[in-house]
Structure 1
Amino acid sequence: MKIGKQSTPYQAICTSNPETIIVRGHDLVDTLIGSISFTDYTWLLVAGSLPDEKQRRMLDATLVAIAEHGLVPSVQVARMTLAASPEAVQGAVAAGLLGCGSVILGASETSGAFFRDIREEAQASGRSVEAAAEKLLRGYREQKKPVPGYGHPLHKGHDPRAERLLAIARELDVAGIHCEIAKTVERLIPEIIGRPLVMNVSSAIPCVLLDAGYPLLALKGVPLLARTAGLIGHLLEEQTRPIGFVMSAAAASAIEYDGPAPGGFVANEN
């Protein structure tokens, strides 16, 4: 069954014959293996060309920045999945990645789209970046939509990861229109939204990568790729120092039952 619009059936990522494997036009064995880093390879697979030094360092910095963030929900579900099914590391990794959405790790994609919209509004209207950002921010306020990539429950004054990524972008002379937009939005938020919200790492990642030439539609894959490495580290530790059932028991003790029960019943799940 044909689903959706389809054009000529081609793909331009990989092909092979019995002697040679070609990835994005490069001989995998003779040119890529042992010659480029995994960060280089990621850029090649996604963008279709090998990165220059600045692009490599910028992507590498974002991957390092977001790979690990403690016992967030995606990590907890991965560790508890492995505790329940110790033979299925791949299932535990998948469970952790499935828990990455608009609240955890998904904001890089939405922030990138937000910055694109501001850039296009400025270009189309001939107005300044500040005027375009103000227009879109007021629209977010009227619709009561959260501004993607701003605010953090722990990092109130500034997100050190975001500041470091922006500093690297400046050092590499990569910072451009999207970094300008990101900082302009942060400056306008207190006046328009009514309270200060700092740039977090999920808005820093798209602004520095877009300025480096990374594709907008692939932004969500960056935190997913990075967090996969973090999940594997947690799952190795779960096999040697398990806490999956400890977390499960802690949840049971922290959450009280308030539904109906027979008279005289006293809950004691321990």
Structure 2
Amino acid sequence: MTTPTTIDDVTAWWATGISDIEPGVIRLRGYPVEQLIGAVSFVDMAWLLLRGDLPTREESALLEHALVAAVDHGPQAPSIAAARMAATCGVGLNTALATGVGLLGDVHGGAGQQCLAILDDLAGADDLPAAVADVLADHRARRAHVPGFGHRFHPVDPRRDPLVASVDAAVDAGTVAGRHLGAALELERQLAEGRSRPVPMNIDGATAIVYGELGFDPELSRGLFCLSRSVGILAHAWEERSSGGRIKGPIPRPLLAAYTGPAERFVCDPRA
């Protein structure tokens, strides 16, 4: 790394194409903020900052559907439970929010990104059924879960149908191409073959379709999920903090976690 030697070197240190800030001026992707306020939605702003320009009305609506769908899944979701526990420990709301968002990793919160990576590959397949069969064979050989399908709690995820319907309508309107939708539906169809109970797509699969159709990178789709879920995390943290509870652990008092270690034992005095 070279040491900055000129003013241009210094100002280029955090060079950005997102925000242009100077005294009395805030421009976001070139748009003066005072023109954006009242003219665009929060979803439009998210798209603008991430993608570089404003979305069409149809693109904005589809993105909003995905963001609304994923805001909350109750205190049984580890991210929300952790935020609620943090809120009873005397930390600020920002710390409780960060605690919850910080738990959105590969297992809890990352399936949408993983699913979209698969859909991206399948979307360009010449023979979609054969490509899907290969993907499923690979997962079965590795005994790996297919991300975005099935749910530990819901027999049918209630968020699936409205999101799929929204994408289907966007395909009919010419807003999106429908390749990610087709790939996901073929995955769902083949997953159900030979089973007495189908394995429908869950919120991760349904939002992966939306983000893929809108052209978002798989890793960015996890960021969008975090943006969405942070609303629910914030609401739960605020509710818990407002309840006045203090230092709430994962199970109610006076219950204690089951102990599975050695029976009681004592350190012998070597001098005895």
How high is the TM-score relative to the length of structure 2? 0.84
Alpha carbons 1:133, 1:185 under 8 Å: kept: yes
Matched pairs, number:
251
Check if 1:60 corresponds to 2:64. yes
Alpha carbons 2:112, 2:205 under 8 Å: kept: yes
Residue 78 of structure 1 is matched in structure 2 by: 83
Residues 55-83 of structure 1, C-alpha deviations (whole Å, 9 max, x = no match):
11111111110001101111111111121
Residues 79-125 of structure 1, C-alpha deviations (whole Å, 9 max, x = no match):
11121124x221111110111112222111111001012224x1xxx
Of the two, which has the highest radius of gyration? 2
Task: Find the aligned partners of 2:65 and 2:203 in 1 and give their Cα distance.
Answer: 11
The one of 81, 91, 107 aligned to 2:111: 107
Cα deviation for residue 251 of structure 1 reads: 7.7
Residue 21 of structure 1 is matched in structure 2 by: 26
**Quick check: which one's helix share is greater?**
1
How high is the TM-score relative to the length of structure 1? 0.84
> Could you say if the C-alpha distance between residues 261 and 159 of structure 1 is closer, same or farther in structure 2, counting changes exceeding 3 Å?
same
Residues 214-237 of structure 1, C-alpha deviations (whole Å, 9 max, x = no match):
344411111100111111111111
Cα deviation for residue 246 of structure 1 reads: 4.7
Residue 268 of structure 2 is matched in structure 1 by: none
Q: Which amino acid in the other structure matches residue 153 of structure 1? A: R
Q: Which amino acid in the other structure matches residue 185 of structure 2? A: K
Check if 1:142 corresponds to 2:141. yes
Consecutive unaligned residues of structure 1, counting only runs of 5 or more, are 3-7, 264-270
Q: Which amino acid in the other structure matches residue 26 of structure 1? A: Y
Residues 3-60 of structure 1, C-alpha deviations (whole Å, 9 max, x = no match):
xxxxx9743111222132121121112x212211100000111111101111111111
> Could you say if the C-alpha distance between residues 91 and 235 of structure 1 is closer, same or farther in structure 2, counting changes exceeding 3 Å?
same
Task: Find the aligned partners of 1:70 and 1:83 in 2 and give their Cα distance.
Answer: 17
Larger deviation, residues 38-47 vs 210-219: 210-219
Q: For residues 154-173 of structure 1, what are the structure 2 equivalents within 5 Å?
A: 154-156=153-155, 158-173=156-171
Q: Which amino acid in the other structure matches residue 197 of structure 1? A: V
Say which SS state the counterpart of residue 135 (structure 1) adopts.
helix
Task: Find the aligned partners of 1:67 and 1:198 in 2 and give their Cα distance.
Answer: 20
Task: Find the aligned partners of 1:109 and 1:159 in 2 and give their Cα distance.
Answer: 18
Residues 163-186 of structure 1, C-alpha deviations (whole Å, 9 max, x = no match):
110111222334600001001001
